[in-house]
A and B are shown apart, each in its own frame.
Chain A
Amino acid sequence: MTVDPSEAFGLFYKDNSGPVFRALLAGTLNRAAAEDATAEAFARALAHWDTVASHPNPKAWVLRVAWNHHRSSWRRWEARWSVDQQEPSPPPAESWVDPDLVAAIRGLPRGQREVIVLVAFGELTPTEIAGVLGRAVGTVRSQLFRARMALRQLLADAPGPEGRDG
């Protein structure tokens, strides 16, 4: 394998930035925060590319970094007020494709929400999710189970935009 590391990172970014961003977006429902966490995590992946390239699951590595970045309120604060940045304008009101689903996600406890989006977009196993979130595998399994039950329940009344294509 004689792939230029810089090129290798480019490919990795191309393939994985979408799913990682979607996981963060669905988990945070905050576009600016999701973009920031995703960009930060990939930037660190590039800075530590030797480690990441030989990691058994680079995407899980990036998701873990992105999640930690987002979870630390300090970092969110710093990003908001960092000096190179002008005062941020308030985030625009989002018009989501599936408002019922978004409302249902909002209704989930944070732990369950994190687990279900990592399943849906990260395509990670419970063991990998446990690593990403720093939780016991058993906890992840039960949170996943409860999140599915809760969403199923919440969505039963709102069958979704079935008519639309997509």
Chain B
Amino acid sequence: MADELPEELPDPADPVIQRLQQAFAHEELAIELVEVRRRAARYRPPPGHGLTAADLANARRREPAAVTRIYSAYAPALFRFFMAAVGDRHQAEDLTGTTFVSAIEDLPRFYGPIEALGGWLFRIARHDLYDHRRRQARSRVEPLEDHLPEAARVAGADDPEELAIQRLEGSRVLAALRELSPDQREVLLLRMGAGLSAPEVAETLGKTIGAVKALQHRGLASLARVLGGLRSPHQAQDRPYLSPDPARLTSQEEEER
């Protein structure tokens, strides 16, 4: 096994290593500690961070502490997802609440490991969102753009939850999302809005990870186009090891689907 091999440090006298070190020796990070501290304060861990299998088992038995932990771990992401989708704070709060309640009721029928909980929760969320939209369509037509000012207004406030969603609302991003295909929009809402990982989004939407990544690539490319006018974001210079061209990747991966 690898463990039995002696653990050598690379030869410091290797001229290649030395030249590398010399070439960059004068480079210093131009970011102050203060800025890092500010960034740390804004950092939000991925949804579900810190949950254990025991939390899940306890929540299945409706143990309040465990239910609360799961709520705290996912409610902000659910809220952001709904907020980005409906653009209205009160509706987003309602949807978050109802989704969570029905999820907890259904939890005894969720057999997956804790890692699969996010995908499962967001499947319920997506279902609830569609129900909500059907109800709305029946009652009155309320196009998304009507909500954008409201969403923008919310961005100015400063409680933590609102800070957490500040990237989305108010934004050209939210408006630009409307320009995308429903598939792309949904993937971006789950990735950007809710902060789910690609595998979680795949689980939520019942697609392969490859298909999700392809939709994400294509969605981002469209979003960048919409946001930046027709100027494409600087690529070759900016990304020395370029991920494959989004458009090409898309067609390839979609075929695998």
Contact of A155 among B19, B21, B24, B191 (CB under 8 A): B19
Contact of B40 among A44, A98, A117, A127 (CB under 8 A): A44
Flag whether A157 is at the interface (Cβ < 8 A).
no
14 chain-A/chain-B pairs, Cβ below 8 angstroms:
A18-B27, A25-B24, A33-B238, A46-B36, A81-B227, A97-B22, A97-B23, A97-B26, A101-B20, A116-B17, A121-B21, A137-B5, A148-B16, A155-B16
- Cβ contact within 8 Å between B45 and A119: no
Flag whether B233 is at the interface (Cβ < 8 A).
yes
Residues of chain B from 180 to 210 with CB closer than 8 A to chain A in the complex: 191-192
> A15 to B42, alpha carbons, bound, how many Å?
23
A residues within 8 A CB of B21? Answer: 120-121
Main DSSP-derived SS at the A contact region: helix
Q: A97-B23, A102-B23, A160-B19 are in contact. Are A10 and B220 (CB under 8 A)?
A: no
Contact of B19 among A10, A18, A101 (CB under 8 A): A101
> A93 to B99, alpha carbons, bound, how many Å?
50
Q: A21-B29, A77-B224, A127-B7 are in contact. Are A26 and B20 (CB under 8 A)?
A: yes
Residues of chain B from 43 to 98 with CB closer than 8 A to chain A in the complex: 43, 45
A residues within 8 A CB of B168? Answer: 83
- Cβ contact within 8 Å between A21 and B33: no
- Cβ contact within 8 Å between A83 and B171: yes
Q: Which residue of A lies closest to B1 (CB)?
A: A137
Q: How far is the CB of B234 from chain A (nearest CB, A)?
A: 5
> What 9 A-B pairs are tightest by C-beta distance, nearest first?
A43-B39, A46-B40, A21-B29, A98-B23, A43-B40, A137-B2, A120-B20, A83-B171, A110-B241
B residues within 8 A CB of A81? Answer: 173, 223-224, 227, 233
> A80 to B233, alpha carbons, bound, how many Å?
9
- Cβ contact within 8 Å between A166 and B26: yes
> A74 to B197, alpha carbons, bound, how many Å?
10
> A96 to B23, alpha carbons, bound, how many Å?
8
> A121 to B158, alpha carbons, bound, how many Å?
40
A residues within 8 A CB of B30? Answer: 35
Q: In the complex, which of the residues A21, A33, A119, A148 has the most CB atoms of chain B within 10 Å of its own CB atom?
A: A119
Q: How far is the CB of A6 from chain B (nearest CB, A)?
A: 8
- Cβ contact within 8 Å between B31 and A35: yes
| Residues of chain B whose beta carbon lies under 8 Å from any beta carbon of chain A | 2, 5, 7-10, 14-17, 19-31, 33, 35-37, 39-40, 42-43, 45, 166-168, 170-173, 191-192, 216-217, 220, 223-224, 227-228, 233-234, 237-241, 243
| Residues of chain A whose beta carbon lies under 8 Å from any beta carbon of chain B | 10, 13-14, 17-18, 20-22, 25-26, 28-30, 32-33, 35, 38-40, 42-44, 46-47, 73-74, 76-78, 80-84, 87, 90-91, 96-98, 101-102, 105-106, 110, 113, 116-117, 119-121, 123, 125-127, 136-138, 144, 148, 151-152, 155, 160, 166
Q: Which residue of A lies closest to B22 (CB)?
A: A166
Contact of A39 among B31, B192, B237 (CB under 8 A): B31
Q: How far is the CB of B48 from chain A (nearest CB, A)?
A: 15
Q: Which residue of A lies closest to B227 (CB)?
A: A81
Q: How far is the CB of B190 from chain A (nearest CB, A)?
A: 12
Contact of B35 among A39, A97, A113, A127 (CB under 8 A): A39
Contact of A22 among B24, B224, B239, B241 (CB under 8 A): B24
- Cβ contact within 8 Å between B29 and A18: yes
Q: How far is the CB of B185 from chain A (nearest CB, A)?
A: 15
- Cβ contact within 8 Å between B39 and A121: no
B residues within 8 A CB of A113? Answer: 241
- Cβ contact within 8 Å between A121 and B33: no
Q: Which residue of A lies closest to B18 (CB)?
A: A120
- Cβ contact within 8 Å between B33 and A13: yes
> A144 to B116, alpha carbons, bound, how many Å?
37
- Cβ contact within 8 Å between A47 and B7: no
